[in-house]
Amino acid sequence: MGAGHSLDLCMEQLIQTQMKKTVFITGASSGFGKATVKLFHQKGWNVIATMRSPENEKELSAFSGVLVTRLDVTDNSSIGEAVQTGIRQFGGIDVLVNNAGFGTLGTLEAAPEEAIQQQFEVNVFGLIKVTKAVLPDMRARKTGIIINVSSVGGRVTFPFCTLYHATKFAVEGLTESLQYELNPLGIRTKLVEPGGYKTDFAGRSMNIYGTDGLDDYQQPFESFLGRLADWPMSENIGEVAEVIYEAATDGAEKLRYPVGHDAVQLLETRQQIDDVVFKKMMVGQTGI
């Protein structure tokens, strides 16, 4: 085979790669992020699967068209490098999925300063940093979709999750407002709002600082934990990936995509009752 022929093959491969759409996903090491990588890959997309420790990822690295690369949403240089590497390899980013996030559980008064900072660093400031890094490419190409993984907890609240809700409410406001400045440039913003799912979220992605021995909060906190343990968590993680894919491909103006039976039911209930009735319902259901 001549040198000219292999050059042609390389060019053809490059053109094929660049004709496919490309999605950039944060927090792709587990849970919704990993399921979303697999689904977009199955659908024939190029995928930039970003995570804090890519050296531990064996499964996704074996897929062709999937670039596994390091990104910590709190580390600007890792964000810049992941975005530039992805664009070099695939030609551009059509869809950004801001998925990386974690939760905190405990009373506000007991929350250590570091836990407060970290909750916002990852769930809000990190999401903003990644968005800002991807926007120049989307703006230059006048196309793009930014999908922010919020939560049902971005629209309704549970007790003892104040910081987590504060971050997800922030993500909701940011995403809703951002559409005004980005829609005229051909870029859409979307919110995916899952209910409870059995990922690593309630385990290694949950920072439980509790009550720090403050007696006034102890009994209600324990009641809440007891009820939380009984909360039905869905095992169908793929359902969330499907909704993220829908948000990326439906061509609709739609902003919010609740997902999961519990999320849909809770949001419907919330729309029908006022703040006081909702609070009483939540107090009753959580036993605090």
Q: Which spans of this chain sit near ligand NAP (rule: CB under 6 A)? A: 26-27, 29-33, 51-53, 72-74, 99-102, 122, 126, 149, 151, 194, 196-197, 199-201, 205
Determine the residue with CB nearest ligand NAP: 31
Q: Cα–Cα distance between 278 and 126 in angstroms, integer?
A: 31
| 258 alpha carbon, distance to own chain's centre | 13
- Exposed e or buried b for every residue in 57-81, given b needs 16+ CB within 10 A? beebeeeebbbbbbbbbbeeebbee
DSSP secondary structure of 236-282: -HHHHHHHHHHHHHS-----EEEESHHHHHHHHHHHHS-HHHHHHHH
Of 21, 38, 129, 164, catalytic: 164
Q: In whole angstroms, how close is the CB of 205 to ligand NAP at the nearest point?
A: 3
CB of 131 to ligand NAP, least distance (A): 14
Phi first, then psi: give them for residue 91, nearest 5 degrees.
95, -15
Closest separation in Å from C-beta 179 to ligand NAP: 20
Phi, psi for residue 25 in degrees, rounded to 5: -125, 130
CA distance 131 to 77: 14
Which of residues 138 and 149 has its CB atom nearest to ligand NAP in the complex?
149
Which listed residue (150, 151, 190, 217) is catalytic?
Answer: 150
Question: Which is closer to ligand NAP, CB of 26 or CB of 217?
Answer: 26
Choosing from 21, 34, 129, 168, the catalytic residue is 168
- Name 116's Cβ contacts closer than 8 Å, sequence gap at least 6: 163
Given the complex with ligand NAP, which of 197 and 217 has the nearer CB atom?
197
Query: What distance separates the 2 farthest-apart alpha carbons in the chain?
Result: 80
Nearer to ligand NAP, 12 or 200 (CB): 200
Catalytic annotation on 150?
A: yes
Q: Is 168 a catalytic residue?
A: yes
Eight-state DSSP code of residue 125: I
Q: Which is nearer to ligand NAP, 114 or 212 (CB)?
A: 114
* Residue 282 amino acid letter: M
Q: So which residues are the catalytic ones?
A: 150, 164, 168
